[in-house]
Amino acid sequence: MSALSQSGKLPPLDFPKWRNVPNLLIAGGAALCLIGVLWKPTQFAYSWLLAFMFCLSFVLGATFLVMMHHLFDAGWSVGIRRFCEHLACLVFPWMTLFFVPIALLAPKIYQWMHADPRLEHDLAVKWPLFTMPGFYLAAVLCLGVWALLAWKLRSWSLKQDEDGAARCTHKMRFHSSWGIFAFGLTLTLAAIMWMKGLQYQWFSSMYGVYYFAGCVWVALAAAYVLAMILDRQGLISDTMGAEQYYYLGSLLFAFTVFSAYIHFSQYFVIWNANMPEETWWYVWREKGTWFAVGMVLVFGHFLVPFLSLLRIDVKLVFRFMMPLCAWIALTEYVDLSFNIMPVLHPNGFALRWIWLDAGCVALMAGVLTKAFVRDVRRFPPYPLKDPRLAEAMGLHPEAPAPHAEGGVR
């Protein structure tokens, strides 16, 4: 049993070697971002957008995992549910605040804001979504729905810790049932407005699923690492066994395949149709060093994690899974860069600005880490009165012993 079960109190979440890392990330990232804003505002705007979409992918992926737990009435995922709720709740206020620079610098980022829809057919057919009011209303809608959904799921979860009422489970299932549709709509809208809208002339009906696959992929990698850390701290060890880590690894493998399938399908459908208004997006990304980045994604984004996760036993080897999860996060960042940065640097990856990209990620990661650790310390590490908790702990009631005549006592 964990320290929580023995004493009734939360054991301290203490990492002496890493305690100051979030503060260092915030300080270093803020300094680099300030230099970028003063030196090259346009480059800063794109670097900030890239970091925002990357950090947002963890938050949205965690939201999806929480909803899936309730919709499928899962038992194995009870142990990871609470910290996934904390990740989902980072959307407000932190990710909302991080969107403010994008809202202010939007005219520097999105070319369509300076185009005339009367002269641009590609822009006219997207009216009224691709208008200034449409852009900001879409942002309010997306961030508002995510914040409401995350807050409702966690608040009812925490309320169940107090009274264990069945209505809390019913409420979480209810919010997950409408939330999964709202989640799919708003995630697709955000991906189109904030990333695909960088080149508004392009058409793709799979772009929302493209971003969704990456969100869940990196969220599963983060969930594996966080579960291992909290387990070794004694916070969730009651609910985490070999079975839970195996399921996390299996889902990570499944979404490795799913993500690759979506990436290839989008490429194949567009290239096979051979329509100039669609193929130019990929032609653009074959210029200069972007072709090499594309090859890195083909092999690193898919083949490396796919071949690594084929064996069953490696899913339980933490020293193997830790670097693999870090690699998954890195390749997802490269994939988002492949989508965003060619707009500003069409002739190849701008290595000279990597310090600014890293600074934006460091600032956001430092703030989000501090907020996440604060929530882990404030609340119970797993749902204390979840109806599936006994199942997650491996506590199953014994079957009644039969009488000698074959009956049951």
3-state per-residue secondary structure call for 223-287: HHHHHHHHHHCCCCCCCCCHHHHHHHHHHHHHHHHHHHHHHHHHHHHHHHHCCHHHHHHHHHCCC
pLDDT, one tens digit per residue, over 210-225 is 999 999 999 999 999 9
Least confident of 113-122, 195-204, 324-333: 113-122
pLDDT at 19: 80
Whether pLDDT at 8 is above 50: no
> What average pLDDT does the structure give for the chain?
92
CA distance 388 to 225: 23
pLDDT at 10: 47
Q: Residues 166-192: what's their mean pLDDT?
A: 97
Least confident of 27-41, 90-104, 116-130, 159-173: 116-130
Contact assessment for residue 129 and residue 61, using Cβ atoms and an 8 Å cutoff? no
CA-based Rg of the chain, rounded to a whole angstrom?
23
pLDDT at 13: 57
For residue 408, give the 3-state DSSP assignment: strand
pLDDT at 32: 97
CA distance 26 to 356: 13
Q: Is 370 exposed, middle or buried (0-12, 13-18, 19+ CB in 10 A)?
A: middle
CA distance 26 to 14: 19
Give the residue carrying structure tokens 């996060």.
Answer: 329
Contact assessment for residue 265 and residue 32, using Cβ atoms and an 8 Å cutoff? no
Closest listed residue to residue 227, CA positions, set 152, 334, 151, 315: 315
Whether pLDDT at 380 is above 90: yes
Q: Residues 3-30: what's their mean pLDDT?
A: 70
pLDDT at 216: 98
